[in-house]
Amino acid sequence: MSRSNTTVPLMPAAYFGLSKSGEQRPGTSWRVLHNPSFRYYFVGSVTSDFGTWLQNTAQVILAYHLSHSVLIVGLVTCAQFSSPLVLAPWAGVMTDKFGGRRILLGTQLAAAAAAGLMAALALAGPINAWWLGCGAIASGLFFTFALPARNVTVRRLVPSADIRPAFAMDSVSYNLGRAVAPPVSVLLVSTVGFGWAFAANSASFLVFAGCLVLAGHGQPTEKLERSQVKDGFKIALHDWRMFVLLLMVASVTIADDPVLVLGPAVAAHLHVSTDWSGWFIAALGGGTFLGSFRPSMHKPSPRLAATALAILAGCMMLFVLSPWLPVTILATFGAGVMCLVANSATRTVLATRATPAHEASVMAVWAIAWAGSKPVASLSDGMLASHIGIKWTGVLLAMPAMLPIVVLLALLVLVLAVQKWKPRRSRLSSQRERLTSQKWFQYTEERMIAAPAPTESVVKAPINA
């Protein structure tokens, strides 16, 4: 049976994933704080994440002050985030073997000792970039082992019905620290010195450890298989949609990395103090945090993630290219909002697409894609900026985030062209039929229909396979 020549009405909102789903989910995740055990955990995690971003901001500013080199800033940041790329699967196995609470307590105490040592070195006298890099490696190592342990601990502290809002609040904790801590860190290092930012971070780890003790052991949870992460990789490699989603997750991290690594150089280019790099990080975190209060009106989908990635890329290009400080701040804030949309869309689709038995393994690979791409992005930032400048570096790192929307636009042009294509010869007609019988073409065209009704031939005639 041949295709109908009826033109499909174009619905841009549906095609780009921006149509309203009709279901709004209010911000009721805060209700999980009524659980006393989780409330202790949340207070500790907020304190710890606040201290972590105090140190992260001070670390970036100090690295730039010591070297005046974006490459050194990129190397220090790469050193901090390289552990998840290498050790994340082993960290999951260790958490499964020894328990999430025990590993989390151990990492908090060890991280407190490492941050305290860095504080002592900074307060005792000038600290060099080598010691700063060693401190970053230690910080990243403990973060790698704490990440899966936090997931397991959250699962144990709340009943099964509250697991999703509990994870959402754990994400709120991270973004709240990223929004509030950077300007406080700038104030701290400009008044009393860098050492006190490291000391405050050390104290925050101890507070988290104390809150974990007060939270208790929680309820027993089922053990995870040691092959979990390996299974997640196998699933992603055999499902190209999941593989593409994981690439989109990595592209979010790569696109927003210039805010952290290039921040001091961008501030210098704008002829303001390099301390403004802390405000850039705060604007990124503020956009993510404030965006979480807005009820989601769009159904999570790869197309929504692609659209958010494109806007994120535009914001990051504006961040490095704008000659005006207010526009730079606004672009960073917008990038934070789009990071939230893209990350939540990809994470939700991945969890939904995976079967219940493999959801945990797929999300473990998601965590590796999210954190493991950070050292690659930071190293690329530092190396490229030293050769081609900060502007072209920011533009190049934003390019991967543009690829999904480019693919969608190319499919849109192809669909519209085929709809208007009226071949006269039988050979051309058969070529058209073969093209329109492709599943990806059918799926793209269906998303352009105003009111999908697969059973009605008036809207769309059947296509031969």
Per mean pLDDT, which range of 2-16, 41-55, 295-309, 432-446 is the poorest?
Answer: 2-16
343 or 210, which is more confident:
210
pLDDT reported for residue 450:
45
Cβ neighbours of residue 462 closer than 8 Å, sequence gap 6 or more = 1
171 or 333, which is more confident:
333
302 or 359, which is more confident:
302
- Number of other residues whose CB lies within 10 A of the CB of residue 198: 29
Q: How far is CA 384 from the centre of its chain?
A: 22
336 or 352, which is more confident:
336
Residue with tokens 């041949």: 2
pLDDT reported for residue 453:
40
Mean pLDDT, range 309-328, rounded to an integer: 93
CA separation for the pair 317, 117 (Å, rounded): 38
Residue 460 has pLDDT above 80, yes or no: no
Per-range mean pLDDT, top range of 18-32, 195-209, 395-409? 195-209
pTM recorded for the entire structure: 0.70
Rounded-to-10 torsion of CA 168, 171, 176, 177? 150
Residue 226 has pLDDT above 60, yes or no: no
pLDDT tier at 124 (50, 70, 90 boundaries)? Answer: confident
Closest CA to 179 of 372, 337, 328, 309: 337
Residue with tokens 């100090």: 62
Quick one: CA dihedral 117, 122, 124, 130, positive or negative?
A: positive
Closest CA to 218 of 165, 152, 266: 152
pLDDT reported for residue 224:
46
pLDDT tier at 255 (50, 70, 90 boundaries)? Answer: confident
Q: pLDDT for 137-146, tens place per residue? A: 888 888 888 8
Residue 459 has pLDDT above 60, yes or no: no
370 or 185, which is more confident:
185
Mean pLDDT, range 188-209, rounded to an integer: 92
327 or 383, which is more confident:
327
pLDDT tier at 324 (50, 70, 90 boundaries)? Answer: very high
Residue 231 has pLDDT above 50, yes or no: yes
Torsion-angle region of residue 7: left (phi > 0), alpha (psi -120 to 50) or beta? beta
pLDDT reported for residue 111:
93
Per mean pLDDT, which range of 125-139, 184-198, 427-441, 443-457 is the poorest?
Answer: 443-457
Closest CA to 394 of 281, 258, 250, 253: 258
- Number of other residues whose CB lies within 10 A of the CB of residue 139: 24
62 or 81, which is more confident:
62
Mean pLDDT, range 259-287, rounded to an integer: 86
Mean pLDDT, range 272-277, rounded to an integer: 85
What is the CATH topology of the domain spanning 33-408?
Answer: Growth Hormone; Chain: A; (1.20.1250)
Asked if 54 and 222 touch (Cβ cutoff 8 Å), the reply is: no
Per mean pLDDT, which range of 140-144, 182-186, 192-196, 426-430 is the poorest?
Answer: 426-430
Give domain limits for the chain.
33-408
> Which residues, listed in sequence order, are joined to residue 20 by a DSSP beta bridge?
298
Asked if 52 and 61 touch (Cβ cutoff 8 Å), the reply is: no
Phi, psi angle pair for 226, to nearest 5° = -70, -20
Continuous segment of H or E residues that includes residue 103: helix 100-124
Q: In residues, how long is the chain?
A: 465
CB under 8 A, 24+ apart: contacts of 19-22: 19/298, 19/299, 20/297, 20/298, 21/296, 21/297, 21/298, 21/299
Asked if 362 and 234 touch (Cβ cutoff 8 Å), the reply is: no
- State the DSSP string of 34-81: GSHHHHHHHHHHHHHHHHHHHHHHHHHHHHHHHH--HHHHHHHHHHHH
pLDDT reported for residue 428:
61
Q: What percent of the chain has pLDDT over 90?
A: 18
CA separation for the pair 251, 398 (Å, rounded): 8
pLDDT reported for residue 33:
82
Q: pLDDT for 1-17, tens place per residue? A: 444 444 445 566 666 76
Quick one: CA dihedral 297, 298, 299, 305, positive or negative?
A: negative
Q: What percent of the chain has pLDDT over 70?
A: 74
Mean pLDDT, range 132-154, rounded to an integer: 83
Cα 432 to Cα 48, 411, 441, 448: the distances in Å are 59, 15, 11, 19
Per mean pLDDT, which range of 99-108, 236-245, 305-314, 328-337 is the poorest?
Answer: 236-245
Cβ neighbours of residue 326 closer than 8 Å, sequence gap 6 or more = none
Q: Is 352 exposed, middle or buried (0-12, 13-18, 19+ CB in 10 A)?
A: exposed
Residue 32 has pLDDT above 70, yes or no: yes
What residue type is assigned to position 22 of the chain? Answer: G
Per-range mean pLDDT, top range of 148-162, 391-405, 413-427? 391-405
Asked if 25 and 295 touch (Cβ cutoff 8 Å), the reply is: yes
